[in-house]
A and B are shown apart, each in its own frame.
Chain A
Amino acid sequence: MNILMLGWELPPHNSGGLGVACYHLSKSLAIQGAKIDFIVPYTAEHPDIDFMKIHAVTAMTPDERNGLGVYDSSKAVTSRELPDIPGGSKNIRDLQRNYVSYIENFIIHNDVDVVHAHDWLTMEAGVRAKELTGVPLIVHVHATEFDRSGEFSGNPIVHEIEQTALLMADRIFAVSSITKSIIVHRYGIPADKVEVVYNGFDPASFDDTYNYDALTYRYLESLKEEGYTVVATITRFTVQKGLSHLMHAAAKVLDQYDKVVFLFAGDGEQRDELVHLAAHLGISDKVLFTGFVRGKKWRDAYSVADVFVMSSVSEPFGLTALEAAHHDNALVISKQSGVGEVLNSIFRFDYWDTDLLADQIIGLATSPAMLRAMKRNVQDEYANLSWNDIAEQCMTHYSLTSNKVAA
């Protein structure tokens, strides 16, 4: 099976979970015998990847690509006919045009059984490949424009690109039932065309030489010695993450039980608003902001925490919850987060239900036995989310789709 995988990023040049998911999925597909050509828009070394062939669309560096704002589509596209900028592909539409041209050339010179396109960034290229050769097209939806734009309406051009590709696709993979529901109800796609393909989790990719360093968050450790419970969220500070709801819940928690401290790890356009909200609620002292964390500080943030909260308003999957579980956290996940669909030993709440969220956090903070049980039980559950199983599921659908298209 020759798979043409249309991607936007791969580790270590990823700015988010999309690259991680593409990496693990491709690796597991390769183990099952797939021959993969993986397209990225930039040029860079990928030292850990020898199981597939990586093709670069442009000579742009990953950093330049990041500068275009992959996730913030509101900044990305304002017009379909953006003028070319002399001196290179400095805007995302130009880069996408280059991507399409590259695929037009690639598809007629190579033997491809299935095209697998990830998210709106590469959907046009996938559609063009199908138009030119009739090759089966799989569109893999990690997030829709509705998820990215939070309470705003999103970029109409991105919506249109998604709409066209979802209609043209022979099969659609959605990372959760929540995402499938958006595809069905908001893009009007028949439900039987959409397959839920969850993300997996590979604990092995974490077990390097990491050891928790209790000194990184020494202040928090000293509070824990005094009986405090650490509640963490590790995320981008954007509206879709529902962090203001978490902050209101934190105030309700502290009103009832003050031996809880909240760690807000990350950064984003909502930071100042959250800092101000904590002050407004009179809980600044119990809310710690780390700024953007990576590497050791990032993993130690999971390790110092007892409880991980994902308060997203709209989260197609939410890999960070599994990372938190792997670092021995009890999970409290909004019902609007896809990752909750694959876990049982967690607390769930509607993102706006701050009373319930506060109640759940107080419950965990005041019951060591329940906290221990939830930490332990969720471990068995994420361990079952194997990328190999997911790759198998994909292979089945590649075959089904190829046969159907051929017929």
Chain B
Amino acid sequence: MNNKSIVLYFQLHQPYRVKRYTIFDTAHDHVYFNDEGESDKNNKAVFERVAEKSYRPMTELLEKLMYEQPDFRFSLSITGVFLEQAAQWAPDIIESVQRMVASGRVELLSETYHHSLAFFHSKSEFETQVALHREAIFKTFGVIPLVFRNTELAYNDELASWAAGRGYKTILAEGWDTALDWRSPNHVYRAAGSDTLALMLKNYRLSDDLAFRFSDQRWAEWPLTAGKYIDWLHSSDDSGSIINLFMDFETFGEHQWESTGIFQFFADFVKEWSVSHGAFSTISQAVEAHEPVDTVSMPQTITWADAERDLSAWNGNELQKEALRHVYDLEHEIIQTEDADLIADWRKLLTSDHFYYMATKWHEDGNIHAYFSPYDSPYDAFLSYMNVIRDIRWRVMQHRKGL
């Protein structure tokens, strides 16, 4: 049994959900994200609830574990729209992350500010959002990330070329079987088309054991203990040197509630892993410590979502395609207005979550979509979104008229 390094990466993100917005609001009400009702379209209420259930207890636990275990390290990616909302409604969470980052044991990643899939729709908008994010991360935490992760881990060789060109050292992707074939995700790889860019692949089986299956009582392995999980980690591909566990931060406390024992599990797991001579690494540390064993190519886009692992959760149906077409069609007109509020509102509408709420595939994955959607149906999500797009367009027209 060799000594593997655990590479933990947690994603922190909250979208600005669009309130119920009808054609009677279009051309009247230019505030789209200010639902104040009981539903989960109320961004402030959602943020405060998730802060209480997940962000606070988990950041507290992480800080405590860092204090108790000098070798404990991990990575975080935090969207700009998360930072904005946290600054407004739960600034203590940012302070906690600032302390952890200052310790040098928490690495922050680069991504789009607005958690968008702009890479696949507009390269210029994508570049702008990445730059905005770097700026926000530097301003808030004083660091410049060297690792890139695209929204929803949406990845292909073209993205890797872009990242290499921009000087990134490492990029993340889903360790999906079609790309890996017989290979294991438990190694550092080289991204196809680049001599310099390291590719770190999510071990989705072991990650999803926590993120999705942990509390599932129908799962044969339920209940999962730290000891059992560590056995799996040790026995996962003996030749491997790392295990990439990538998941949403909200796994802890929101997707898996406190009552499932997820916090206790995580605390036990970190302590026992250290005791069993395992190590923890940030992404860059792992890449530094291990040479790439092979080159992996993904000509087709692969994401970390759904059984298909493609972009169909965001652009698979006609509602989504329409909404995407119309919002991205506005890009040049919007930018030309140089109206900061208008541009900011438009960018918030590019967040991938809006399109996820319009998903209509109700098979196996439908449950997850429904669980994460604050709308009555994909059609309601679509109608509100389209009415907002019309309002944005109306504002552009007013701008042109000099009003």
Contact = CB atoms under 8 A, between A and B. Distances in A.
A272 B23 contact: no
Contacts of B379: 271-272, 275-276
A51 interface: no
Contacts of A297: 24
Contacts of A275: 319, 379, 382-383
A98 interface: no
Contact of A219 (B27, B317, B319, B326): B27
B26 A218 contact: yes
B382 A219 contact: no
A360 to B, nearest CB: 25
A contacts with B: majority SS: helix
A289 interface: yes
Given A218-B27, A276-B379, A285 B319 contact: no
Contacts of B377: 272
A279 interface: yes
B386 interface: yes
B391 interface: yes
Contacts of B397: 222
Interface string A208-223: 0000000111111010
A279 B383 contact: no
A56 to B, nearest CB: 36
A272 B317 CA distance: 14
Contact of A215 (B28, B321, B323, B394): B28
Interface in A254-305: 271-272, 275-276, 279-280, 282, 284-285, 288-291, 297
B326 A285 contact: yes
Given A271-B379, A285-B326, A219 B318 contact: no
Nearest to A278: B322
A280 B326 contact: no
B106 to A, nearest CB: 43
Interface string A177-217: 00000000000000000000000000000000000000111
A220 B322 CA distance: 20
B285 interface: no
Nearest to B386: A284
Contacts of A289: 23, 383
Interface in A207-265: 215-220, 222
A119 to B, nearest CB: 33
Contacts of A276: 318-319, 360, 379
Question: Which of B317, B379, B389 has most A Cβ within 10 Å?
Answer: B379
Contact of A279 (B22, B27, B319, B389): B319
Nearest to B323: A284
Given A272-B379, A288-B23, A282 B28 contact: no
A265 to B, nearest CB: 9
B390 interface: yes
A320 B383 CA distance: 25
A272 B377 CA distance: 9
B322 A285 contact: yes
A294 to B, nearest CB: 12
B391 A219 contact: yes
A59 B137 CA distance: 67
Nearest to A220: B23
A297 B360 CA distance: 30
A291 B326 contact: no
B394 to A, nearest CB: 6
A282 B322 contact: yes
A94 B397 CA distance: 58
Nearest to B398: A222
Given A219-B391, A280-B318, A284-B322, A290 B386 contact: no
Question: Which of A215, A219, A271 has most B Cβ within 10 Å?
Answer: A219
Nearest to B360: A276
A276 B322 CA distance: 10
Interface in B160-194: none
Contacts of A284: 319, 322-323, 326, 382, 386
Nearest to A301: B23
B26 A279 contact: no
Interface of A: 215-220, 222, 271-272, 275-276, 279-280, 282, 284-285, 288-291, 297
Give 5 nearest A-B pairs by CB, closest first.
Answer: A218-B27, A279-B318, A219-B27, A219-B26, A284-B322
15 contacts: A216-B24, A219-B27, A219-B390, A275-B319, A276-B379, A279-B318, A279-B319, A284-B323, A284-B326, A285-B322, A285-B389, A288-B387, A288-B390, A290-B24, A297-B24
Interface of B: 22-24, 26-28, 317-319, 321-323, 326, 360, 377, 379, 382-383, 386-387, 389-391, 394, 397
